Homo-oligomer: A and B are copies of this chain.
Amino acid sequence: MERENIKTLLNRRTIRKYSNKKIDQLTIDTLIDAGIRASNCGNMQLYSIILTEDEKNKEALCKLHFNQPMVKEAPLVMTICADLNRFHSWCIQRGTTIEYDNFLWLNIATIDATILTQSICNCAEELGLGICYLGTVNYMAKPIAELLDLPKYVVPVTTITIGYPDENPPITERLPNEAIVHREKYHNYSTKDIDKLYTDFENLPQSKNYCKESGKENLAKVFTESRYTGKDGRNFSRQYLDFVTKQGFMRNFSDKDE
């Protein structure tokens, strides 16, 4: 059966508790080999990986990730960045000009940094490690960049904690595939579709618990009124756009290139 070869991909879970076992250097090198072998735009490799293993540095980083304990407890934290700095340095040294200080390239480098991250994650899980993505890196991009000494043209994109699992959580529910897949054209969702696609999800004991804990009448309100509010999102959006402007990705937007 074909699916046997890919059972790790099909049965993975996020791991937030890790054993004390360290990750040896050969394994770290293998993860990085797998990451850089993934696709990237024009083979420009517009990414960097910051490894955090030092206890004090993990503590400082943990604070910026809203004190999520995985950052302190995992043996290894990777912060993966969109990096145009290396490429620009090479361009200047070869007598040409900086041309990738614009939003297109931040977007491309964000995507390439994520592709690399996900191949590292798939590799890690295949080797018996567990990983957790920390979305807080996007909220806190600026202070994280300062802590890690990121120069102009470098923006943190993903953070993952990595270690040998010390828990075995159940597999997480997902929406049915038909919620995600569109054939040939996007087919917008009718009221009936939405009810059908979300009902199972809303009826999970965990979802009911979320509502109870936060005192909200339904799961959608847990998200919008408690978990991820619009006010927070708009504040983090402003901070992020200010930060990427400072990092050099908004050059010449009002100029005409004639």
Contact = CB atoms under 8 A, between A and B. Distances in A.
Given A103-B237, A110-B110, A220-B90, A186 B138 contact: no
A255 B23 CA distance: 47
A181 to B, nearest CB: 5
Q: Which of A36, A94, A229 has the most CB of B within 10 A?
A: A94
A232 B193 CA distance: 41
Interface in A105-153: 105, 107-108, 110-111, 114-115, 117-119, 121-123, 126-127, 131-133, 135, 138-139, 148-151
B96 A224 contact: yes
A182 B99 contact: no
B91 A127 contact: no
Contacts of A108: 135, 138
Nearest to A257: B231
A154 interface: yes
B37 A11 contact: yes
Interface of A: 2-3, 5-6, 9-12, 14, 27, 29-30, 32-34, 36-39, 41-45, 47-54, 57, 81, 85-86, 89-91, 93-100, 102-105, 107-108, 110-111, 114-115, 117-119, 121-123, 126-127, 131-133, 135, 138-139, 148-151, 154, 157-158, 172-175, 177, 179-189, 191, 194-195, 197-198, 217-221, 223-225, 227-231, 233-238, 240-241, 251-253, 255, 257
A174 B43 contact: yes
A177 B33 contact: yes
